[in-house]
Amino acid sequence: MSGTGASMDESFRNNVIEYLKSKTDRIVELWTAEVTSAPYTRIADFSLPKEARSTWLRSCLEALLELAVKPGDAQARERLRITIRSEHIRSVGLVKIVTNDHALRRIARDMLRERFEGKEAEEAERFLEGVIDMCIEETVILVEQHIEAQRALSKSEWDSNGKFSDPEQMFASFCRNTMEYFDADFVALFRLNRDAKELVCASCFAKGISLSRNARISVHSIPLVERAIAANKPLSCLDQDSGRGEKVRLVGGASFEHCIVAPLSMRDDVTGILFIGDNGRTNYFTPEEVGMAEEFSRLVVGALDSADTLRMLSFRTRAQKALIETAANMQQEIDSEEIYRILAIKMVELIPSHEVVFYVFDWKRNVGNPVYATGPYADEIMADRDFPADVGVVGAVGKSRRAEIVADAEVDSRAAAIPDTPAIHTAMLAVPVLGRREVLGVIELQRYLPEGFVQEELEIAVMFANHAAVALENAKLLKEITRVREEVELHMDLLTHDIANYSTPLMGYLETLKGQSVEKQVEETVEKTISQVENISRMVNMVRTLAKLRSTAPRELRSMDLRTAIEQAVSVVKSQSAGARIEMTVDLPDEPMPVFADELLPELFICLFFTAVKPERHKQAKLIVRAKSDVDGPKRMWTVQIIHPDRSIPDDLKRKIMRVAKASKSELSGGFGIGLASARGIAERYSGSMWVSDIDPKDPEKGCVFNLRLPRTS
């Protein structure tokens, strides 16, 4: 072909293109044969019918030649990119597609050499090179966009501080790359809320269309979406089941003539959709592009699964920490109000909510009452008192004893309005607080729609409720114990006070009578009566000592002299044992005998001495008191022994007599009663110990020994 210039170049190009078009059948035949036998071909491609492959290669060649005629034409470029995307889903990657392009290059070049010679052949080949390069360039761009979409989903979701980051940015980047890959106007990822039958926007990227994150769309409002979810397969506007050419309206004024709905299916359960929409293209999405969208949806499912796993791991780690802190804080509280406050604060830290209410039930009256509330309507909620225990969602949860999530409490048939509060659509998480015998109450969390709750949050809320149940029952039990103790202390105080009031004048009368000249029989009776009144007074003092030991007041221990306490006790016992001959031998070391104690130290030995001598029916008792320095492991101790040769204690009673028990009996009935229990309590108050042994382990009848060990000071 002769001539130069732009017009001749265009004419020559047209000749080349027309020639290639005339050889289309031959080129496609040779291209099909070479592509099928080329390396990098997937096994699935061998089962592809030859006619189907030929049809696709013909479409690709025609689109390429059309773009060669109109290099800047958008529709021609669109057709070429559609054919490349169709091949992309069949191929293992860029290498296979470029290999196919090079095969076309060789076949077309051979054809041109049959028609052109010399310089014309060289020009024709250069033109062909440019055409094939356009195809390779578009291929590289598409593959890069595909890789970028994959890379967006594989980015790390942990920040530099080791905290889990929100995947919103990751999915936004994916939507942008997906939109570029499909040459679309709109790409969005939606989560499926099956309970509410709604799609919740997780991420979106669009041209001239705004759809906010967490925007909600009813599944029933989009038939194509509803059918795709029901069938769990991708559909497009050309799908027969969806109605050919159906225009899909998403929300507001956003509608699309061309679209793909690809379900996000995780273990055969649809958890969301990938939506691709466009209004600018002239060709409908091909089945191959629908298949490619399904491939993209699988990538999203994998990323979502990983994100959910990591998010759940982070959530459960924070939950475990919060539960431990909550349990520790509530164990220190006996005030129910403070328990409610601690629980609400910790729950909201982990499960953010707009409103939190703690209800308790009074089953005797069959009513419920709010005891703690936060949120804009807390005052109005707290004012709603004594409502029937079976009313509202709270009543239903309390009756069923099962936690539940309510998608919209405002439209729930069980809901009951609270006076002076507006009608607001809220999602509700209601959890029963289960005691050992009955439901103690219900914890209610609310979020304003479109926000809702998920199953994982329900499980964590149940754990919080279990902690609350334990804390509330412990607080209730502790209050009851405190109440009973206060009553006992009151009664004990009144009793000991009244006994002392009566015994004191009685002792005075008896002492007066004793000093007068009376018959011998009367004198003996007076002495016995005086002895019994002294026993009663001693018992009153022991009871008061026990009351002091049971007091929760803090101990104020200081260094005291053990010798002085023993000598004081010996003096008291002798002076208050009128008519009885008590022989007490005291053998103490010459060195100082310091111990950590308080004002009850002399009372320890008084209780011990009186307990030892009072059971004697005759008027003579013998006690030997010894002390020595001792060690108990690394501790330096004082060991005091009160030896009673006239008293033996059976082995089965040696442990029982150390505590107030029925088996120990009273001192007045020949037993040991509260005297030894009081002495032991004082010893343990000083971190000491007390026990009973025999003088001769081989012969218990030779008498007993009351052993006392107290820590000594330096």
Condensed to tens digits (0 to 9), the pLDDT of residues 136-177 reads: 888 888 888 888 888 888 764 544 444 445 567 888 889 999
Higher pLDDT, 213 or 546: 213
| Token pair 């889990």: residue | 164
Share of the chain above pLDDT 90, in %: 17
pLDDT in tens, 592-616: 999 989 888 998 898 888 877 765 5
CATH number of 555-711: 3.30.565.10
Task: Enumerate residues 6+ apart whose C-beta is below 8 A from 384.
Answer: 370, 418, 419
Task: Provide the pLDDT for residue 662.
Answer: 43
Convert 117-165 into a string of H (helix), E (strand) and C (coil). CHHHHHHHHHHHHHHHHHHHHHHHHHHHHHHHHHHHHHCCCECCCCCEC
Task: Provide the pLDDT for residue 429.
Answer: 93
Task: Provide the pLDDT for residue 619.
Answer: 57
CA within 13 Å, CB half, 209: 23
Instruction: Report the predicted TM-score, pTM, of the whole model to 2 decimal places.
Output: 0.53
Task: Provide the pLDDT for residue 169.
Answer: 81
Question: Is residue 49 classed as helix, strand or coil in its secondary structure?
Answer: coil
* CATH 3.30.450.40 fits domain 318-480: yes
Task: Please indicate whether the domains covering 6-152 and 555-711 agree at the CATH topology level.
Answer: no
**Predicted confidence band at 575 (pLDDT cuts at 50, 70, 90)?**
confident
Higher pLDDT, 82 or 534: 82
Task: Provide the pLDDT for residue 7.
Answer: 43
Torsion of the alpha carbons at 379, 384, 390 and 391, rounded to the nearest 10:
-80
Higher pLDDT, 304 or 408: 408
Give the integer Cα–Cα distance in Å for 428 and 445.
Answer: 6
Fold that domain 6-152 belongs to in CATH: Globin-like (1.10.490)
pLDDT in tens, 443-498: 999 998 878 888 888 888 888 888 878 877 777 777 777 777 777 666 666 666 66
* Max Cα distance, the chain (Å): 169
Q: For residue 710, is pLDDT > 60?
A: yes
pLDDT in tens, 32-44: 887 776 554 444 4
CATH number of 168-313: 3.30.450.40
Higher pLDDT, 5 or 691: 691
| Edge-first strand listing for the sheet containing 426-434 | 387-388, 367-374, 355-362, 439-448, 426-434, 404-406
Per-domain residue ranges of the chain: 6-152, 168-313, 318-480, 555-711
